[in-house]
Structure 1
Amino acid sequence: MSATRRVARTSVQPDLWTPGAGGLIAGVDEAGRGPLAGPVVAAAVILDEQRPIAGVADSKVLTAAQRQRLFERIHADAVGVGVGVATVEEIDRLNILQATLLAMQRAVAALPCPPARVRVDGNRVPQLPMPAEAVVRGDATVAAIAAASIVAKVTRDRLMDDLHEAYPHYGFDRHRGYGTAVHLAALQRWGVTPAHRRSFAPVERALAAQEGAA
């Protein structure tokens, strides 16, 4: 079992750009826990102390254009980038928390070189073969986690763009699967698709209405 601990962070950490003593550090974050549709995506990033990337920040405070630019820089300049995805079927079978932890495990496993330790945004960590710590608000205070948040967000947005092509009535290219008024109205009008998470209450209700009308 991996060693884990929870750490609250309120300022930028000393190892912002460095691998730190004792080996490489990977930052891990996810995108897509809350939406009603689409997969949950996690990313793991090991930054290079010799190639700092200006502008890296929590993906939520960046514009789409900034995220796209930084996504390309991270892939070009980081020591390693790994991405893990948990499908809608896995979300419904495991629950969203366990599916998110599974996506994080897959992201770390996808790194081209294993890190000595892992820092994960939030207050929970997946089971990993190396020490890991949860960093509250890590996406705003630890650059490797912030970089992971950008990679996860851009990757998931692209997957949702693909779903928009398959199901253009739902507006996945705009709300990204979140339960907006537009999305809920589309669920009522067009019904539930295979891209929807049936374990989420608004989808359950729409599916019940859909089956009742059949």
Structure 2
Amino acid sequence: MPYEAPTHTVERSLRATTGARIIAGVDEVGRGAWAGPVTVCAAVTGLRRAPAGLTDSKLINPKRRTELAGELAGWVTSYALGHSSPEEIDELGMTAALRLAAVRALEALPVRPDAVILDGKHDYLGGPWQVRTVIKGDQSCVSVAAASVIAKVRRDAMMAELGAASEEYAPFAFGANAGYPSPVHKAALAERGPTAHHRLSWSYLDGLPRWRHLKKVRVSAETAAMESGGQLGFDF
């Protein structure tokens, strides 16, 4: 599928209008999963020409995506990852869990960014960070696209390692679905119930009569609305 390569337009605009010099692109993966953490990557790229084929991670085939993540690890100025666990997601709600993961990623960078480009239209990060939200930023902004690819590849690898770590997790096929809904995942849930790595505040439990008693109360109406839209696995 043809696409336009991401540019540094937003990064240059932030430099010109705010004086920011260190700009981090931020993107998340795992928002729509039923199991595993939500993962956020913060990537600082400067204004250098991006590696060929860089775009939103969901538009890149898995083999090339893995190769590209390896290239990006040495190409970016710096990057860091932050995670929020299933327990934190259940306790805090997705919006707060996303913020927690993003703050962990940003604070793990060697130098604090002057500004942050956040993929999407909602600023879940807030102050004290100077945030610019960009819809489809993972397709249009180089730094966000880099964060998108690194986050996706690293989280997929984490879930594959989890699936291979124990016979208990093998039936859920985390290596294939990364914790998102899939026929195999759904069948394993119905038969075995959720593992310690599943999110227990999510509505998939409503459809599992044997296990719905394990469901945790959602934090807020805002969180419930957000997650009921995300739980279908739109970024699988």
Q: TM > 0.5 between the two? A: yes
Q: Which runs of 5+ in 1 are unaligned?
A: 1-10
Matched residue count: 201
Report what 1:14 is aligned to. 9
SS at match of 1:127: coil
CA contact (8 A) 2:205 2:211 kept: no
* Distance in 1 between residues matched to 2:212 and 2:44, nearest whole Å: 47
Once the two structures are superposed, the pairs formed by residues 12-91 of structure 1 within 5 Å of their partners are 12-14=7-9, 20-21=15-16, 22=19, 23-50=21-48, 52-91=50-89
The alpha-carbon deviation at position 204 of structure 1 amounts to 5.2
What amino acid maps onto 1:209 in structure 2?
R
Report what 2:128 is aligned to. 129
* Distance in 2 between residues matched to 1:84 and 1:168, nearest whole Å: 26
Report what 2:138 is aligned to. 139
Query: Of Structure 1 and Structure 2, which has the larger fraction of its residues in strand?
Result: 1
TM-score by length of 1: 0.86
* Distance in 2 between residues matched to 1:86 and 1:48, nearest whole Å: 27
Q: Which runs of 5+ in 2 are unaligned?
A: 1-5, 214-236
2:176 alignment partner, one of 168, 174, 177: 174
TM-score by length of 2: 0.78
Once the two structures are superposed, the pairs formed by residues 155-166 of structure 1 within 5 Å of their partners are 155-165=154-164, 166=166
The alpha-carbon deviation at position 36 of structure 1 amounts to 0.6
SS at match of 1:209: coil
What amino acid maps onto 2:31 in structure 1?
R
Q: C-alpha deviations, 1:30-62, integer Å up to 9, x for none? A: 000001100000000011334632221100000
Change (3 A) 1:50 1:179: closer
When the two chains are superposed, the root-mean-square deviation of aligned CA atoms in Å is 2.2
The alpha-carbon deviation at position 29 of structure 1 amounts to 0.2
Residue 204 of structure 2 corresponds to residue 209 of structure 1: no
Between the aligned residues of both structures, percent identity stands at 35
2:194 alignment partner, one of 181, 192, 195: 192
